[in-house]
Amino acid sequence: MSPAKVVRVDELGAVQVLGGPLKSVFNPKTVGAKFLRFAVGTFAPGEGLVLHVHPESEEVYYVIRGRGTVRLGERREEVPIKEDMALYIPPGTPHGVKNTGKEELDVAFFVAPGGEPTRTLE
């Protein structure tokens, strides 16, 4: 079993993943997490993550700051999001996020089990 770990997110570097900058906080490589992934994205106006699918994983988006849209499902329905909103995304549901505001959009992403997306849809 891995020991508990505290991470300062502001000290992590962002990596381009799925078309946007993500800070991977907890995953198998960073802390030995077996059942989840946790990341934070800070998106400039117009930035976001491309439409993608986690076939076997659930995901939660939590909006820390800003405004944007999340595209969901095969019909790519656009759902407006803003600070203090959370979205649950079931396994196999296509999804992606975009900053449609004028300020940065900060979103926390929780994925369990923590598998990588198997395909992008854009």
Is residue 45 within 8 A of residue 103, CB to CB? The reply is yes
Domain assignment present for residue 70? The answer is yes
CATH number of the domain that 80 lies in? Answer: 2.60.120.10
Is residue 33 within 8 A of residue 3, CB to CB? The reply is no
**CA 60, CA 116: separation in Å to the nearest integer?**
14
Domain assignment present for residue 1? The answer is no
Domain assignment present for residue 2? The answer is no
Domain assignment present for residue 4? The answer is no
**Which pTM was predicted?**
0.91
Q: Which residues share a beta bridge with 38?
A: 26, 110
- Is it the case that residue 110 has pLDDT exceeding 80? yes
The mean per-residue pLDDT over the stretch 37-65 comes to 96
pLDDT in tens, 4-23: 999 999 999 999 999 999 99
Domain assignment present for residue 24? The answer is yes
Domain assignment present for residue 42? The answer is yes
**CA 12, CA 23: separation in Å to the nearest integer?**
6
- Mean pLDDT rounded to a whole number for the chain: 92
* Domain range for 19: 9-104+112-120
Confidence (pLDDT) at 118: 66
Number of independent structural domains in the chain? 1
